[in-house]
Structure 1
Amino acid sequence: MNCKKEDLLLYAITDRNWLHGETLYEQVEKALRGGVTFLQLREKNMEQEEFLQEAREIRELCRKYQVPFLINDNVEIAAAVDADGVHVGQSDMEAGEVRAKLGPDKIIGVTAKTVEQALLAQQRGADYLGVGAVFHTNSKSDAKEITHERLREICQAVRIPVVAIGGITQDNAAELSGSGIDGIAVISAIFAQKDIEKSARTLKKLAGQIVRSVQ
């Protein structure tokens, strides 16, 4: 599966902190109905068998909506469930190794915080970059913020698509206009909201405006 820029417009990353009696599957479906264009399943504390089962179910859901489905960090799970790809951080397996394990047709995303990291990831075969945190975030305790100037420099330095991540909300997303990003990645801005579908719809519209601001 090729990674198309337009698929990265509204990139949702799951988090089970806000289930409130719902299943993650139900919440993901609401997000997909709202217009999420890319989905990453992120589970840090789940047993392997349970993770496998969940990943298979959500992969099928994403296929129904024709949205690319990636696994965070876990290359083995991604391969086992035939996910569309995997996203890895700087401290995880590097893109070349992931490519060797998953093959040429899978999407590989890599986290980058500097121009050097971005260029190296591109050189090693990353299909897109996740760059941030562009705002303060509570979703990752170790996420340090980067300036919007740095974000713009990374976008200008690479040929592959760039997604901004970290603390993005409906209220601050417009500040990323003109940076050159191809999409926004969000967690709480969708999954922590009372109306997940409506939040996704609003964010997709905002993301479209941000991306068009540099066309």
Structure 2
Amino acid sequence: MSDLSLHLVTDHRVPFARLRDIVDAAVDAGVTVVQLRDKVASGRELFARTLDLADVVAGRCAFVVDDRLDVVLAARDRGARVDGIHLGQDDVPIGSARALLGVDALIGWTAHTPAHLTAAAALPAGTVDYLGVGVIRATTTKPDHPRPLGIDGFAELAASTASPCVAIGGIDVDDVAALRAAGAAGVAVVSAVCAADDPGAVVRRLRAAWGAEG
């Protein structure tokens, strides 16, 4: 099982050349999962960026792509190391993704409501590795996000499922310890790292707040 403690989710608003540097620095500093999320790139652009970031990550942590099963499969066919996918409720069926990617793939599923958690619990064992639960706070990286849960709302959802829950949405360093205490298996950040002048330094602070060494 991959270490879920610290996910970096990329921000499409950052120029890609800069994003490559951010990912490299963040992986060096200790992020445990990199998720390429770009809902505005064409399929061809996203494929090229997936190959590029797979080379940047170079197996130093898990690397997954948001939403696009076709891109993951195409990148794997090209020989790129893409460890899995993160799917939303409206994406391809998660069971189909598991069948196509295999038992060793890292597969996450977005879950914002008790109904989503019920659906996850009904899946065959081994279908989903973690649930992305949020948003914790309002965030500009996803303007159509659901009502923020806050720490207490997250804790309530996390306590109601056996699946590991990764908190996402407007999270900063000051939230990390409270989210771990609330039952988070990890935290996912976007702007906290992607908008930072020194992404590596922010990742080290996030790791320290989580309680990780290094």
- Indicate the TM-score class for this superposition, using the shorter chain for normalisation: 0.7 to 0.9
Give 1:111's aligned residue. Answer: 110
8 Å Cα contact 1:75/1:86 also seen in 2:
yes
Give 1:204's aligned residue. Answer: 207
- Aligned pair 1:126/2:128, yes or no? yes
- Aligned pair 1:72/2:74, yes or no? no
State percent identity of aligned pairs.
33
Give 2:93's aligned residue. Answer: 94
Q: CA deviation at 1:115?
A: 2.7
Matches within 5 A, 1:21-36: 22-36=17-31
**Structure 1: 5+ residue stretches without partners:** 210-215
Give 2:4's aligned residue. Answer: 8
8 Å Cα contact 1:114/1:150 also seen in 2:
no
**Aligned-partner residue type, residue 163 of structure 1:** V
Q: CA deviation at 1:95?
A: 1.4
Deviations 1:57-102 (A, max 9, x none): 211322342x111000000011111221110111222311222332
Deviations 1:125-160 (A, max 9, x none): 211000000111111011121243332232222222
Give 2:139's aligned residue. Answer: 137
Change (3 A) 1:181 1:147: same
Matches within 5 A, 1:151-162: 151-162=154-165
Provide the C-alpha distance between the structure 1 equivalents of 2:158 and 2:139, rounded to a whole number of angstroms: 21
8 Å Cα contact 2:19/2:194 also seen in 1:
no
Deviations 1:17-55 (A, max 9, x none): 234x84322221011111111110011121222221221
Change (3 A) 1:191 1:9: same
Provide the C-alpha distance between the structure 2 equivalents of 1:169 and 1:49, rounded to a whole number of angstroms: 33
Q: CA deviation at 1:176?
A: 2.2
The more displaced of 103-112 and 70-79 is 103-112
**Structure 2: 5+ residue stretches without partners:** 77-81
**Aligned-partner residue type, residue 184 of structure 1:** V
